[in-house]
Amino acid sequence: MRKFIIFLAVFLTGCSAQQIQYSSIDMASKELAASVIEQVVMEQPTKFRPEGIIVSTSYIGLSEGHNAKGVAVSNHNDITNLVVASANIKLSDINSRYYFNSISKLELYSKRDWFIVQLLNEEKRVVKRFYTRNLEKGKRLIDSIHFMKISAKPFGVE
């Protein structure tokens, strides 16, 4: 029984993400920081990669694709073999914005072959995760977002 508990503890520890302590360093410019953010985000695996990205001085904007909802109604008349149909389709964009002045903390984790950068808001909740297989790219992403964060104007200030 004791061996089973030790095995279970080791197994569960191996499945969880391990936080990597990292303090960001300064970037050379906003243009370089925006370029790094764009590259690392767009190099994510397909299931995490957005369709598009915009990096402004105040936010990261992600286009996650389109959402389509449809309703179809039809009626068939047996006597005349006439079918009357109507369709209503609503197409909408799925977009997300992550404002630099709303990011309170950036965290770096390692899980198996992946490095995960987490963006936390003022309530200390994870609002977005970015994935990379390269530790250096994960660190540069943190550096870039941190640089844009300290360069952004505080909320409600022009």
Q: Where are the domains of the chain?
A: 17-60+100-151
Amino acid 10: pLDDT: 47
In the chain, % of residues over pLDDT 90: 57
- Phi and psi at residue 123, in whole multiples of 5°? -85, 10
Amino acid 32: pLDDT: 95
* Least confident range of 39-48, 51-60, 73-82: 73-82
Q: Position 81: which residue type?
A: N
Nearest to 93 by CA among 53, 63, 70, 62: 63
Amino acid 144: pLDDT: 96
Sheet holding 105-111, edge to edge: 18-20, 105-111, 114-120, 126-132
Reply yes or no on whether the pLDDT at 24 is more than 90.
no
Amino acid 11: pLDDT: 52
Reply yes or no on whether the pLDDT at 30 is more than 90.
yes
d(CA 40, CA 27): 15
Q: Whole-number mean pLDDT of the chain?
A: 84
d(CA 84, CA 69): 21
Amino acid 78: pLDDT: 73
What are the pLDDT digits (tens) for 79-126? Answer: 777 777 777 777 656 689 999 999 999 999 999 999 999 999 999 999
Q: How far is CA 133 from CA 24, 32, 88, 126, in A?
A: 19, 21, 43, 20
